[in-house]
Structure 1
Amino acid sequence: MAGLESEADNDGETRPLLQDNDGLSRASSSSTLAKGPEASSDEEAGSITTLPPSRSAEDDVLPETSPLGRTVTWGSAYIIVISRVIGSGIFATPGSIVRAVGSPGLALLLWVAGAVAAACGLAVSLEYGCMLPRSGGHKVYLEFTYRHPRFLASTLIATHIILLGFSASNCVIFSRYTLFALGLDADVSDFWRKAVAVGLLTVITFIHGCLPKLGIRIQNWLGWMKVGIIIFMILSGIYVVLFREASDVRADRSLPVWDDLWEGSVWNWGTISVAYFQIIYSYSGLDNVNNILNEVKDPIRTLPSITSTALFTAASLYTLINVAYFLVVPIDEIKGSGEMIAALFFERLFGHHIGGIVLPLAIALSAVGNVMVVIFAQARLKQEIARQGFLPFSELLSSTRPFGSPLGGLLLHFIPSFLVIVVPPSSDVYSFILSVEGYPGQFISVAIGGGLIWLRFKRPDLQRPFKAWIPAVLVTLGLSSSLIVAPFFAPGGFPAYAIVGLSM
């Protein structure tokens, strides 16, 4: 990566944003003038500029050191990404996806298409992230690209992050799988389902706020455990295939075979889009580490490697685990499983005691891991918004006192998450959360993709250590645009999630 020196990489604040014809960045040139002529030779050698960035549009997105320090290593960054990507989606959504699209074949096709779309979207995030390696993610990219009217992009993205950046879905899954394992799922009231979910949200907020180092250790351990659970489920499906003649599971003739893989497929785009939003949710989070790049060691080299590794891991596991579901659970049961398809999978393979109690509790723990990494990243993102003065009491909300953690960001994250859990009915809350998170995100995806193409032509002077393939950007733009208009063509009228998303 031209322009990076190994010494500077270790310190983190290295790469100039802009490159002039004489080989010096504009930012470092202005810093040289500020520091005097004796600093000139050091600047030309690529040494670190220690002056704080100005409030200009150019300097405000330069790399800077987080008040929490550069403490996130490659391994921790990978867990932050993979544990965010592999959350409740793969354990909860396959049943509702098959019910919506009608057949296992079309469902599998959508999961593969989701991986391709995720790769295209990831390319856009990588170009922006390596070009502007600072915490804030989409907020930074939109602010840098769309500067007029002033503060419009900042206000819109800050509103989106504050109102829709919550951790409700995996809290709901934790509650349902925990109650299922305890045999209480059918008997408890809505109040207790929501109380368990809110309890998890409260405990994790407390850990990240008051015991931040312990929180990082716990989320790392839970992330690896989650990957292990999915691998175990895939191996269980392979066991069914290899020993199907001796297996009681295969005695059920309602299990799908290749001849009827596409039977019952629903090809209406409005219907497919609803299922596809849930698949997008399952792949979301590949850019999770973009939100905390100020804390990542050597962010420009780390970002592409961890995200591409995480995408390959997730795509492989998702495809294989869906095949395992179809091999073990009858298609009619899959369609009626709601969010409990993984519980049915385990119960059919291992019986009620292990499959209905122990393994659902393991899935509940994996949901805990997802909630932890989402809160970890979102709290820091909201702290960045407060640091820039877009919120009342910004100085208080951006402080890291007294525990060296973003307490203000954690509070801002807790409130909307709490409301989303307790307000909607329990029967509808999960699918509603997935859709209402996914739909407004398509508008941001269009703005980010279009902005990237615009910058290619208007700002060729920007250094781009990673360059997205333009067809991949166009795929992202086309898919996001089609998903925006899809609710208008859905059978049964304009869905509630789209109304809420447009309102946001």
Structure 2
Amino acid sequence: MGIQETQPLLGASSHSDAISQSTTQPQDNTHDELPAPYPDTLPGATYRKSLNWSSAYILVVSRVIGSGIFATPGSIVKSAGSIGLTLLVWLVGTILSACGMAVSMEYGCMLPRSGGEKVYLEYTYPRPRFLASSLIAVQAVLLGFTASNCIIFSKYIFFALGTEPTESQHKALAVGLLTVITIIHGCFLKTGIYIQNILGWVKIFLIGAMSLTGIWVVFLQLYGNTDDFSPGAKSGSSFSWDLMWEGSNWSWSVLSTALFKVYYSYAGLNNVNNVLNEVHDPVGIVKTVCPTALLTAGALYTLANLSYFLVIPLEEIKNSGELVGALLFQRLFGDHIGKVFFPLAIAISAAGNVMVVTFALARVNQEIARQGFLPWQNALSSTRPFGTPLGGLIVHYIPSALVISLPPQGDVYNFILDLEGYPGQIFALSVTVGLLIVRYREPDLVRPFKAWLPAVWLRVAVCLTLLITPWIPPPNWQGDVDFFYATYAIVGIGILLFGVLYWYIWTVLLPRWGDYHLEEEKEILADGTSIIKLVRVYGG
């Protein structure tokens, strides 16, 4: 079967030519039609430039500031063991997040196209053909779930209601939230966008309110009922140098899991890179929005952690699980307001994060389907019947519901964070090393922003460290979960190896057996959606 010549999806030379041309000429932001197509830009695709600086800033900040600062500090303190080491982990995690952000900024300014890491990996590693895209597809489908914030929503709702739910009730409420959000985004596009915008502002207000309580406690000492506070917390003596480091746990394996959780709290600093086709002045926005968002989140997180340590005794923080935010508000504002209103607000914040992530990941799944890397391509690529990526939402819903439902409830939150973090470090290492490869391979490519080389190498070193340390046995062979300490690393690597096997079977083994090779062919669906068909071409 013969087909017409089409733009190769992963051809390195064509990518370089297109990008070199587009980055050496002024960008005309008044035109919706993009210049030469890029891996995530299908021929003939048009995009409306609808995001200015402020909207791009909210897009990043509201993605970064989610339930992480309300839920992860208890686990991080439990892993670190002391106030001093906990603050050090947050500081190191912030610096390392900045290094990762710098790498994304260089790529985003150099290749100003939507797609983020998907674009960078496909551009940097065009060979073996389709391998990068296959791994991205497997990672997006199997690991691109929205489970952790659904669990936080469930925990805080029941905490606010003052009930002791069963494990099945916890999971049912979490899956119920995911189901409702999937239906809203799948059937009511404008309503879903309106709701998630409102909830995004609620999240920003909440973390700001928590941070202000830290200032309140430090400078005004207004505790309400002082009997509720430990003397050490009230007097600030816990921050003396010796007491700050008392009980520190310097196990690299345990600290690596704590760093994963700090990374989770900063996840989304490169969120604007995923939508650069729709941004006015994408290079200028990448260079300014990302650092501003990092400084905002870093300042708020530091003040929030100080609030925890000043108000809640250290042992209670260690045993708080995902409810440390609720304990803070309970101690500051009493049982009625603090234990009901603010935990309920945190639950709403978590729901807002689920809405934003579901909205974005469904479109990632749709783009992967449009390029031929998922089965049932026509159904998953189409926007029928509601003008939404319903197929992408379903692909996102299934693994998310399974991850919520199957693991034991007690460890599911920490396990999910670790499982998301470990393969993410593999992709982060690939992108960072890829930046060095592109610098060597294409030194003349225009780079409006260039990451500081020591920051690039530091990120390489950190990625390698975080990939190795989970295999080092912690004290008593016990991590922050009740099962084998390296389970999340084993599962994460297993998923990526499945991606390699999937790629080998359908791009190498089956074509060899069937005497054909794969080519890309553009097709327009009935609803006007452009897709790339991977068609079989038999013979030489």
Q: Does the TM-score normalized on the shorter chain lie above 0.5?
A: yes
The answer to whether the aligner puts 1:501 opposite 2:488 as a matched pair is no
Partner Cα distance (1:68, 1:401) in 2: 19
Q: Give 1:242-257 correspondences, 5 Å limit.
A: 242-244=219-221, 247-249=224-226, 251-255=229-233, 257=238
Partner Cα distance (1:355, 1:49) in 2: 49
Question: What does residue 191 of structure 2 align with?
Answer: 214
Deviates more, 1:150-159 or 1:242-251: 242-251
Question: What does residue 34 of structure 1 align with?
Answer: none
Q: Give 1:173-192 correspondences, 5 Å limit.
A: 173-184=152-163, 186=164, 188-192=165-169
Q: Give 1:233-248 correspondences, 5 Å limit.
A: 233-244=210-221, 247-248=224-225
Question: What does residue 35 of structure 1 align with?
Answer: none
Q: Deviations over 1:57-104 (max 9, x none)?
A: xx4356988667443443333233222211111001111111111101
Partner Cα distance (2:35, 2:288) in 1: 29
Residues 65 and 207 of structure 2 are in contact (CA less than 8 Å); yes or no, is this contact kept in structure 1?
A: no
The answer to whether the aligner puts 1:85 opposite 2:76 as a matched pair is no
* Alignment partner of 2:360 out of 352, 367, 377: 377
* Alignment partner of 1:351 out of 328, 334, 337: 334
* Alignment partner of 2:393 out of 379, 391, 410: 410
SS at match of 1:403: coil
Distance 1:77 1:409, change over 3 A: farther
Distance 1:220 1:190, change over 3 A: same
- Displacement of 1:17 in angstroms is 7.1
May I ask how many residue pairs the two structures share in their alignment?
467
Partner Cα distance (2:489, 2:255) in 1: 15
Distance 1:51 1:379, change over 3 A: closer
Q: Deviations over 1:95-143 (max 9, x none)?
A: 1111111101110111111111111101111111222222221111111
Distance 1:459 1:105, change over 3 A: same
Question: What does residue 287 of structure 2 align with?
Answer: 304
Partner Cα distance (2:321, 2:202) in 1: 24
- Displacement of 1:46 in angstroms is 7.2
Partner Cα distance (2:325, 2:221) in 1: 20
| Percent identical residues | 54
SS at match of 1:286: coil
Partner Cα distance (1:98, 1:367) in 2: 21
The answer to whether the aligner puts 1:224 opposite 2:215 as a matched pair is no
SS at match of 2:231: coil
Q: Deviations over 1:419-478 (max 9, x none)?
A: 111111111110010000001111111110001011111112322222111111111111
SS at match of 2:119: helix
Residues 292 and 380 of structure 1 are in contact (CA less than 8 Å); yes or no, is this contact kept in structure 2?
A: no
Distance 1:240 1:304, change over 3 A: same
- Displacement of 1:162 in angstroms is 1.1
Give the letter aligned to residue 214 of structure 1: T
SS at match of 1:357: helix
Distance 1:288 1:317, change over 3 A: same
Residues 95 and 335 of structure 1 are in contact (CA less than 8 Å); yes or no, is this contact kept in structure 2?
A: yes
Q: Give 1:263-342 correspondences, 5 Å limit.
A: 263-342=246-325
Distance 1:388 1:396, change over 3 A: same
- Displacement of 1:301 in angstroms is 2.6
Residues 17 and 463 of structure 1 are in contact (CA less than 8 Å); yes or no, is this contact kept in structure 2?
A: no
Q: Give 1:112-131 correspondences, 5 Å limit.
A: 112-131=91-110
- Displacement of 1:297 in angstroms is 3.6
Residues 143 and 420 of structure 2 are in contact (CA less than 8 Å); yes or no, is this contact kept in structure 1?
A: yes
Question: What does residue 169 of structure 1 align with?
Answer: 148
Residues 134 and 294 of structure 1 are in contact (CA less than 8 Å); yes or no, is this contact kept in structure 2?
A: yes
Partner Cα distance (2:305, 2:256) in 1: 19
Q: Give 1:65-76 correspondences, 5 Å limit.
A: 69-76=48-55
The TM-score, its normalising length taken from structure 2, stands at 0.81
Question: What does residue 4 of structure 2 align with?
Answer: none
Partner Cα distance (1:17, 1:461) in 2: 14
Partner Cα distance (2:211, 2:23) in 1: 52
Partner Cα distance (1:479, 1:64) in 2: 39
Question: What does residue 39 of structure 1 align with?
Answer: none
The answer to whether the aligner puts 1:154 opposite 2:122 as a matched pair is no
Residues 291 and 378 of structure 1 are in contact (CA less than 8 Å); yes or no, is this contact kept in structure 2?
A: no
The answer to whether the aligner puts 1:474 opposite 2:453 as a matched pair is no
Partner Cα distance (1:305, 1:291) in 2: 16
Distance 1:66 1:423, change over 3 A: farther
- Displacement of 1:407 in angstroms is 1.6
* Alignment partner of 1:258 out of 226, 235, 239: 239
Deviates more, 1:202-211 or 1:450-459: 202-211
Distance 1:465 1:402, change over 3 A: farther
Residues 15 and 123 of structure 2 are in contact (CA less than 8 Å); yes or no, is this contact kept in structure 1?
A: no
- Displacement of 1:308 in angstroms is 1.8
Partner Cα distance (1:67, 1:201) in 2: 31
Give the letter aligned to residue 442 of structure 1: Q
The TM-score, its normalising length taken from structure 1, stands at 0.86
